[in-house]
Amino acid sequence: MKFVAFALAATILATAPATAALPVGAKAPDFTTRAALGGKQFNFALKAALRKGPVVLYFFPAAFTKGCTIEAHEFALAASEFEKNGATLIGLSADPIDKLADFSKVECREAFPVGVAQPATVAGYDVHIAKGKTMTNRTSYVIAPDGKIIFVHSEMSPAGHVTGTMDAVKAWRAKRRG
């Protein structure tokens, strides 16, 4: 009986659209967090990353789960293209940093960092998977260097997150070249 209830809840979460309270044009909340790249931990600060160019910030529910692994592989394959277009890529989850360090080596293929989505960051970006829970939904943002959100994709399926953020970064870059 518990398995049936769990399976039903998992199905609902997997098919329900995520919601993002932060629309295009909103100011992205600043944050600093512990992150890992290739298993090596470091401090990541949004403000410092924005000085280099746009930031692709994607939230994911849990490391080493099917959808999050698929999404990490897709972002890893695109990481060099994001970099070529001047964007910093980072994924955030409410998982502990040690788990994320392992995830960064294996599933992120050492191509980009993942960090801890602290409760204040989860609340600030309104990416709770359910109110009162720290676990995040699957939402991707592109944040321009001025701190404004220029793209949002909020859907529990990993499909569309990489292509949408890449298109937004390329459009931002093309406007700058004008």
Helices 161-177 and 66-84: crossing angle, nearest 10°? 20
DSSP state of 135: -
Give the three-class secondary structure for 24. coil
8 A C-beta contact, residue 8 and residue 2:
no
DSSP state of 148: B
List all residues 6 or more positions away from 166 whose beta carbon is below 8 Å from its beta carbon.
Answer: 78, 81, 82, 85
SS3 content of the chain, % helix, strand, coil (to 5): 40, 25, 35
List all residues 6 or more positions away from 16 whose beta carbon is below 8 Å from its beta carbon.
Answer: 156
Query: Is 108 among the residues known to form the active site?
Result: no
The whole-angstrom separation of Cα 161 and Cα 38 is 22
Catalytic residue among 68, 72, 144, 166: 68
Q: Which residues are catalytic?
A: 68
